[in-house]
Amino acid sequence: MNSTALRPPARFHYAWVILGILAIIQIFGQSISMSAGIMVPELRAEDGRFGWSAGVIGAALAGYYLVGSLTSPFSGRFGDILGSRKLLTAAGLLFGSSMILIGFITQVWQFFLVYSVMLALTSSITIVPLMAAINPWFRRRLGLAIGLMWAAGGLGAALLAPVYSLLLESFGWTTTFVIIGSVGGGLILGLVPFYRNQPTEKGLRAYGATASEQPAATFTPDAAKVRLKIFQKQMRHTRAFWNLPVIHGLGCAGHGIILIFVVDFAVQRGIDFTTGAVILTLVQIFSIAGRFAVPIITEKIGGKPIMATALAIQALSVVILFFAQDVWAFYLFGAVFGLGFGGEMSAYPVVNRQYFGTGPVASVYGLQISGAMMGHCISTVAAGVIIQFIGYEPAFILSMAFSGLGVLIILTLETTKRELIPDWEDQLPPEARTPGPAPATVPPAAAAAGVAFGNVGGDGDGD
């Protein structure tokens, strides 16, 4: 366990540097799923280098979400045991190599290997342990920190899409992805020397922590495994542990259908493709407000009401599509849906703090992201079949049903006003426990007075 003496907090806390690093990671990590939409026209072009069918591309997307669902729990576990700094290095190497390899693919199996496996693993690392990694750095303002990270991811998704498109038009397929992989992977690896897992590694307490609060600690891998085992054993006795992954899966299933098919639906209603693409841009732009605001509000009023509200907005906004004929109606939908969509996904790290305190939460967050990815996978396949054989309206009803069921399950959760397992460390061996608060420092003058006057107040028995 790290025993570095803790320094008094400086005017500028290093937690904000960590936040900046993790925000940059989210910009690239959350742009991975968006990059598929940029690649689709080139992959489908009959006179291009690929000429693949929509079914093949759809299968690759479903594979991406499936692999992400299966690997996210392991990414969270590795983050809790090995520390997020090692996974930051892995994310940089995977992002850089995967993007560069995409530039040289020629066969379908290569695309499945690189996009559906390697980039899915990259995404699970950046979103799970490297989102939860901010938790030990902020005792206060955690909601603000997470809101900024999610907003950075949304901003990256909104801004990198036109950048990727411009690169493809200007330099072609291979050069574009070599540039993306080299710049993105190089930047992530360049941030590793400045990153630390815990405040104690810089001789600091978490931002906002007082001298009487328990400091975050660094544990050996063996001690971390013991802590994780006991922590998960306690968590399994709560409804939140089981229900949060289901809620996240339902929420992502609800907005996944919309994000994949809304542009094509608008085109079917007579909107030109370029104008229809603006719908997704509006969704991303307005999602930034939801991503930023919801964690802050969640920290102040609790997770249940804000999660239910965001998911209800996501569900009810779909009603607009049933009546949308003109461009303004689709744009209105994009704005309202974006607020709910952004808010639906961003509350979970704060809710985990409210339910489970400062324990090793990357693993449980990994389960929640696993549920989210599985929701995307199932909804992508189901909606595609429904649209092909029945039409868009039943698929949109399915989207609303997913989101509405998520709202109902949220209402069954425990209150977020109190921590569910506050005494979980009582079952740990002493070497695996978080150290208690440092004893109060006795001023030299007071110590001298105590020596001089000895037992003036009694005989030393507390009189």
pLDDT tens readout for residues 118-133: 999 998 898 888 888 8
Predicted TM-score of the model (pTM) = 0.75
Give the best-scoring range by mean pLDDT among 71-75, 105-109, 378-382: 105-109
Q: What percent of the chain has pLDDT over 90?
A: 28
Which of 57, 44, 31 shows the shortest CA–CA distance to 116?
A: 57
**Given a cut of 80, is residue 277 above it in pLDDT?**
no
Report the alpha-carbon distance of residue 148 to residue 299 in Å, rounded: 14
**Given a cut of 80, is residue 209 above it in pLDDT?**
no
**Given a cut of 80, is residue 31 above it in pLDDT?**
no
Ranking 125-139, 389-403, 438-452 by mean pLDDT, the lowest is 438-452
- What is the 3 state secondary structure string of the chain? CCCCCCCCCCCCCCHHHHHHHHHHHHHHHCHHHHHHHHHHHHHHCCCCCCCCCHHHHHHHHHHHHHHHHHHHHHHHHHHHHHCHHHHHHHHHHHHHHHHHHHCCCCCHHHHHHHHHHHHHHHHHHHHCHHHHCCHHHECCCHHHHHHHHHHHHHHHHHHHHHHHHHHHHHHCHHHHHHHHHHHHHHHHHHHHHHCCCCHHHHCCCCECCCCCCCCCCCCCHHHHHHHHHHHHHHHCCCHHHHHHHHHHHHHHHHHHHHHHHHHHHHHHCCCCHHHHHHHHHHHHHHHHHHHHHHHHHHHHHCHHHHHHHHHHHHHHHCHHHHHCCCHHHHHHHHHHHHHHHHHHHHCHHHHHHHHHCCCCCHHHHHHHHHHHHHHHHHHHHHHHHHHHHCCHHHHHHHHHHHHHHHHHHHCCCCCCCCCCCCCHHHHCCHHHCCCCCCCCCCCHHHHHHHHHHCCCCCCCCCC
Phi, psi for residue 207 in degrees, rounded to 5: -60, 125
Residues β-bridged to residue 138: 207
CB 30 within 8 A of CB 156: yes
In the structure encoding, which two tokens stand for residue 24, read together?
A: 């940059």
In the structure encoding, which two tokens stand for residue 265, read together?
A: 């639906």
CB 160 within 8 A of CB 31: yes
Distance of CA 117 to the CA centre of its chain: 19
Angle at 85 between CA 35 and CA 422, to 5 degrees: 105
Q: CA dihedral defined by 67, 73, 75, 81, rounded to 10 degrees?
A: -160
Which of 313, 255, 302 shows the shortest CA–CA distance to 413?
A: 302
Q: How confident is the model at residue 363 (pLDDT cuts 50, 70, 90)?
A: confident
- Between helix 273-301 and helix 327-346 the angle, nearest 10°, is 30
Residues β-bridged to residue 145: none
Q: What is the mean pLDDT of residues 445-451?
A: 38
Q: How confident is the model at residue 136 (pLDDT cuts 50, 70, 90)?
A: confident
Q: How confident is the model at residue 145 (pLDDT cuts 50, 70, 90)?
A: confident
